[in-house]
Structure 1
Amino acid sequence: MADTIHEDAVDQRRIRNLIWGGLAILTAIAIVGVFFAYRFVDSERLRAQQEWQIRLGIVADGRAAAVAEWIDGNFAVIEDLTINESLQLYLTELAMSDWDRLSVTDEAAQAGYMLNLLVATAEKEGFASPLSMAAETSNVGQAGLAGLALIAATGDALAVTPGMPAFDERLIAAFDAALLGKPTLIDMFPSQAGPVTMGFALPVYGLQDDPEGKGIGVVMGIRVVDEDLFKRLKQPGEVAKTAETYMVRADGNTVTYLSPLADGSEPLQRSLALDTPQLGAAFGLKTPGGFTVGRDYSGAQALVTARAIDNTPWTLIRKVSRDEALAQVDERLNTIFTVFILLIVGILITLVAVWRHGTSVRAAQAAKKFQIAAERFENMVKFMRVVTDSQPTEIMAVDAEGRLTFANKTAADIAGMEKDDMMGKTMSSIFGPVKAGTYAEINGRVIENFKAEKALRTFHDDDGNPYWYRSAHVPLRGDRDYPPASLTILDDITDLTLETERSKRRLLQLVDTLVGVVDRRDPYSANHSSRVAEVALAVSEEMGLNEVSRSTAELAGRLMNLGKIFIPTELLTKSGQLTDEERDLLARSVEVSADMIEKVEFEGPVVDTLRQIDEAWDGSGPRGLKGEDIVAPARVVNLANAFVGMLSPRAYRGAFTFEKVEGILMEEAERKFDRKAVLALVHYLENKDGRETWAHFREDPTGT
């Protein structure tokens, strides 16, 4: 079943990978498509803007030329008057008579002719005022809109058509400039009567005067700015709905619109700040002849070009709405995006359809696989049940609350219950509180830490007889149906333990028998082995060594003199100085002891302990082992052997005192002996009545 689930998971991953791969490819295609679409549309937009720049420029050039032509035409009208010989003769005579009109021949007739000339010209060329028809011959006339005036160099008005505006500072300034020989344009300004007017002024020279010098008079014309000018801004055959041409000028920090606007604004009625962001008119004033995509006076985006109008402070603006100009490009962009979206949606629909079809097929296959896997799993469960039921050990699954979720036949038989009846019951109700409490603590740690543990526990029956259980606890992960648990395996090792104890007792009895043989051959070494074993056990317990190490130290202490059975009795009891050969023979007795028991199987490293008894902590022993490289029981027995040897009397010397022995051992700590072992021995002597316990070690075994 696990293989089936794995295969199905692999299939699912493949499908997901295909779907994600398709989506990734689709996304990449979409990104690339959008990128190139934008590139294409940008190029199209740039091309369209360039086309509109040309179109707008052509119209702007034509309209600017038409306006300039109108300006030149008005100056031509004034110029025709300034070169009229009768007018020049009249002014020349006045100038020669020092402007005394009474000295001029037939002055009244000439003045009348001048007035008629001006009136006729004004009526014909558009300089007539629609509000006044009265003639004025003084330099202070009634308020009016338009007219022509002949002004002497002295500033006196010699002839003025009806409706000519009064001379204000602006007209006086224009007169002064024109008198100096400069053609002067009087820019648009609102009149007192309402309509916008503008003027033109040119100098009049005497018949014999240099036309480059100062004039003897000025002809000035003021006219209403009307449709005669503004119609020249309109492009014949205009097809663009939002295309518009208008004129602007800079008045300080503002842009003033001089011509009527499409929103109904009259001339000079609209003005905007020159620093208005993206204002097309401001761009045109700063960059006449340029082209930009900016904003018009209404704030709408527009394509704008500008042209300066010759001999005026005016700039002609030609604009068209961006939306109208680039409508085809924007429509093309929308079409491209729509196609891409439809393409992506179509691909997604195809992928979903393929996925759903594949899913239905896989679902049927998965159902079949699951059925087969379920059958396999059921067979496996039966097989595992047979296996666990055939085991001689108790096998159970216990959750964190101590309740059984599984038990094999052995566990049920020992509990005297059916397996199904054990499910959901607590261990305490089955095994009793003592045994259950012991294992509940272990199972809790195993489930929490998810780490297996082993244990050996001793229990007692109602009669006080001990019995032993060895247990293994393995963590189990939880799933949908079962919570996390500990697989608990209990093995009753009472018979094995009792047999081991009996074997150990028999071994000790045999050891004591062999050691007794040695003790009878050397009265001074009588009980030496048992005393070393006793001290070694006490020291190992003080050091906190484990049970195996403690029993190993005790047993090695008992067996260390076993090899002396091969040493002659006279050597063992010799009271004189020993030769080197005799010393070597005695020293090798421990090695002989190890050789004698090498084939015997012990629970701990008894043989290694015997072979390492003579090793020193600093490595100066026969094998060169040092420190922790020497097994712990050997370090303990080495110390115990030296302690018992110095404390016991010998044929060649008496027994040492406890103080002397302790001093020697402390001096040899970390040279010959393990300091921890020495401190453990001293602690036992000083704090656990060790001196009283072992005081008999100092007694002479011969009774002398």
Structure 2
Amino acid sequence: MTELTANLELNNIMSREAPKERSSSFRTPLRIGILIAVLLSLGAYFTADFAIQNAKEELLAELQAREEITAAGKNEVMTTWIDSTGRKASQIASHPLFRLFADEVNRSDSAELPRPLANQLPYMQNAISSFVEQNNVVAAYVIGRNGRAYLASTGSPSLTDEQRDLAVRHYSQTEIAAVNARESGKDLLIDFLVPILEAQSAAGANPAVVGIMVMTVSAREKIEELLRPSALSMEGEETWLFQRDGDRFFMADSKSETYFSKQPASGMTADFTRFALRDISTTNGPLYSVGVQLGNTNWVITQGIHEKEALEPLERYSVGIWIVAVSTVLVILSILAAIWLTLRSQNNKAMAEQYKELAHKINAQRRLLGSINNTIDDLIGLTDTAGRYVYANPSLARFVNFPVQSIAGKTDRDLFGEKAARAMGDLNQVVLDTEQTQNTIMEVETDNGTRILRIEKSRLMDDEGLFMGIVTVAGDITDFIEHQRMKERLGQKTISVLVRMLEANDPYLANHSHRMSVLANNVARVMDLPTETRQAIATGANLSQIGKISIPSEIRTKDGRLTDEEMDIMRGHVASAESILAEMEVDAPIVEAVAQMYERKDGTGYPKQLEGEEIAMSARILGMADILIARISPRSYRQEVSVEEAMEVFRSNPHRYDQDVVAALDDFLQSPEGEDFRNSLEQDKNPS
């Protein structure tokens, strides 16, 4: 510690006035001293224990959030894999010849296939076997309504009664389902039930299910990939897979004769979704864990961290707290002892000497407290009125790669570089102007790369209220921020996959979201909207059509105009989009933009008939971009229009469309970039 900080702390503790003489009737100082020592010790004990318990609760809350996020992320990865794997079978199940064959078999009443169908059987057998081989699938079958497998891939094992029953019951559904997650020796298998729809159906009627394709897929490699620790895993943090059988849970164990252990894990109970300390018999000691069930399978993914590693930061914190408590008691007792000694003295000179001795003791105790401060991970520094450092703890010295002794006298520019120094200087000025503590998050370049700091700055005042300097406390949150960014990237990838899948299955939506994004982003740029609004527009454009996943394909891709009933169904995609985005925890401004983009200023839009300023600016821009891109694209029931014709509709209907947005659209489309955009639209409509 420097002389400045030592003197400051001493002045805060010592009184500026000499104590009054004590009465000669004070005959029991020893007893009073013992009583005070006992009370101080009890107070320090309960205060320290309270602080430690609060720190433990905060630590466990952070761990719970981390483990729940990680478990949910891994469950989302597996769910996405299951969904994408299940759609593989649609490649063959939706083939017209395959559907026609299944339709004819379904119509046949005889136990034996008619000769024409029997003649086609080898070709269909070869097709399903080729599908299994090309897609690395374990087996595939086609089951009739009577539970009979009239097609099976070459080398497929015999169907179980359970598989047949599940297939027969699935005839009432038209969606792909993943069921019957089971263990097979050292492998893990999932059965996918894929409905085969009739080749032709009556006008306006939904196609009937004429066959069920059962596809059996190995999930072992994907599960083992999931269980491997990631680069962001903490020490002692692990992922486990359990197979649930009623209230019993069997852990995945590569050393077992089968994939799952034969003995149930004693610590796993039906409340596995609750974050708690569990002593699972097959793990090394108790651990804090939380679990999620993988879709409609009988598998449970559990994410946890061993108790020892989880509470290691708390142990270090507890040691520091107890040292502070003991030091505080010693300091107070030292002060009281010094006061008692001075009150016993009638000689001013002796009293002054006692105060001097007391000052040395207090400084020693303060140095002890300073050494405790030096052990914490946060970066702590004190700069004087000229902006030069007078104190830095070892954590700060290690961060900037300077010896502690050499930091005194240096500035932020010397320690952090020009860019960070300017930002810190601006923050210092805000602290001085507002006289309030300020917080910010800042990126700093170091020898170990870019680090992200959470910085708090506040003024340091003396007893007279005079400004002495600025205290800086910073924490390195790089690892936490990187974890959050990884989660966001995972969410964006999931969104991208959903959008591409939708556009790939709807000829009217091909490249629609991309064009919307380009147009809406440029309009937002022309209007110079705030960054948050522009981000909502950019992301909202890519998500604008996501709700149409829930709309039947025969309505989305219908050649003619939709009926009133079909239009009501189509408009339901807005509510579906809002629900999907809410479940994905997408930011509220983005959900608002997507949910309101079909509203109009005069209240004629849907789904809530909002008017005027009730509609967010981001939604107005997306809505007009969506209309323009859609109108310039041809449909079977109408001709496409030019960009200028679409713009004229906007200009001539000011009661429906925001004219500020219309003006921004005109500005962009008349710019060189807008000309390039219009040319690209024409090329897409008239490919060479």
What TM-score, normalized to structure 2?
0.43
What TM-score, normalized to structure 1?
0.42
